[in-house]
Structure 1
């Protein structure tokens, strides 16, 4: 599979190294879309990729699928154009809290027959949630996220503090960089208006911790995920980066699980 990547940050560099440098079977990054070609010129020789600053040229290059490794604004601005030509993997899933964008993307998928794959990011259990909700019988989905206090609030605190409690639709508006996980969980289950979210600033932890609780006709399930940071960038979840690589491998592998 020939891959085009949008972005050149921590997650993109993780993919360059793991796919091109370590030569993953049947995966190859050929093209990279960036704003500033000169700034990232070194990537061309280091990872044997081609850089593009014009979207149409990037999409017409030798690629089968586009990986977004940038931000919510990039998804909002570029995904509709991408879907007219290519499949896409999206990591900045918070963009789909915008119902207008979600509707537009859904229509483009139907019209152009291209696919959008949403990486699970820093959480898991989405396969169970989708299976449990296959008959629409999941009653409750709750996400409790704990993060180091200094990443959420400026004031120093000595005990944990709930900084948000409500629905996913409001969580992503107030904390767009912290609540992507709430949107992918919502899309897999009850939707952004019915997925419960608690965000806690905890001065006693140094990692992000996500706890997911699901209740329905199937029974009950609880998952807890403690995320190590990406070694190259402590602000990025290691699992979020790995989830893109995992998605690519699953797409490329004919033996499907789940």
Structure 2
């Protein structure tokens, strides 16, 4: 499988290192990297020598290449810009799921995939339990999904607090609008389950913790479940969860396997 990459930040470098250098996924290589910014003409050739890929400075040229899947791991603005272009003739793995808070864009991408017989993949990222939610949703058997995101107080509040403080409680739609940095988790959970209007989100500032903690609860005809994740940061960037990078690598790996566990 030949991969195209948009974004060479923390996650992009992680994928280049593990796929192209360490060969973690057999018969899979990132063969192309796209960056249309003027400064890329100076930066990409250096990276290309290290990680053995072909640099592209035009989206159209990338899409005319033989890559099988394009991976976006840049930011929401980049995802919004390139997803409609890529899905015209290539499958895509979208990391900046926060872009899909735009319902019109989501509908547009859905129509593009159907018209062009392409697929848009969304990795679980920093959370888990999506398989249970999707299974529970079948036959309208999912009744409730609640996400509690607990972060170090200084990440959410300017003032110092001694005790935990609930800074938001409401549906995912409002949470995404007021706390866009939590958008990826809330949107992924909503798309897998009940949607942004019916998914409940609680965001808590906690001065006693030093990492993000996500707790997901679900209830339906299948029963109940609760999953809690205490995510360590990326070794190279404290703003990125290490599990997010691993999730993307796992998603790519699953596309190569003949026996798939979802």
**Aligned residue runs from structure 1 range 146-165, under 5 A:** 146-165=150-169
1:2 aligns with 2:6: no
Name the structure 1 match of 2:55: 51
1:99 aligns with 2:100: no
CA contact (8 A) 1:33 1:58 kept: yes
CA contact (8 A) 2:148 2:215 kept: yes
Structure 1 position 96, deviation (Å)? 1.3
SS at match of 1:166: strand
C-alpha distance after superposition, 1:72-111 (max 9, x if no partner): 1112111011000100001111111211011101100110
TM value normalised by structure 2: 0.95
C-alpha distance after superposition, 1:217-245 (max 9, x if no partner): 11000000110111010100001111111
Query: CA–CA distance in 2 between the matches of 1:179 and 1:205?
Result: 21
TM value normalised by structure 1: 0.97
1:75 aligns with 2:76: no
Name the structure 2 match of 1:196: 200
SS at match of 1:157: coil
Query: CA–CA distance in 1 between the matches of 2:32 and 2:62?
Result: 7
CA contact (8 A) 2:97 2:183 kept: no
Aligned residues: 258
Name the structure 2 match of 1:227: 231
Name the structure 2 match of 1:25: 26
Structure 1 position 154, deviation (Å)? 2.2
| Higher mean displacement: 238-247 or 45-54 | 45-54
C-alpha distance after superposition, 1:185-209 (max 9, x if no partner): 0000100110000111111111110
Name the structure 2 match of 1:244: 248
Query: CA–CA distance in 2 between the matches of 1:143 and 1:53?
Result: 40
SS at match of 1:143: strand
Instruction: Considering fraction of residues, name the structure with more strand.
Output: 1
Name the structure 1 match of 2:68: 64
Query: CA–CA distance in 2 between the matches of 1:243 and 1:47?
Result: 21
1:206 aligns with 2:223: no
Query: CA–CA distance in 2 between the matches of 1:169 and 1:53?
Result: 36
Say which of 114, 117, 128 aligns to 1:110: 114
Name the structure 2 match of 1:128: 132
Structure 1 position 62, deviation (Å)? 3.1
| Higher mean displacement: 33-42 or 49-58 | 33-42
SS at match of 2:83: helix
Structure 1 position 33, deviation (Å)? 1.4
Name the structure 1 match of 2:13: 13
Q: List runs of 5+ in structure 1 lacking aligned partners.
A: none
Query: CA–CA distance in 1 between the matches of 2:120 and 2:55?
Result: 23
Instruction: Considering fraction of residues, name the structure with more helix.
Output: 2
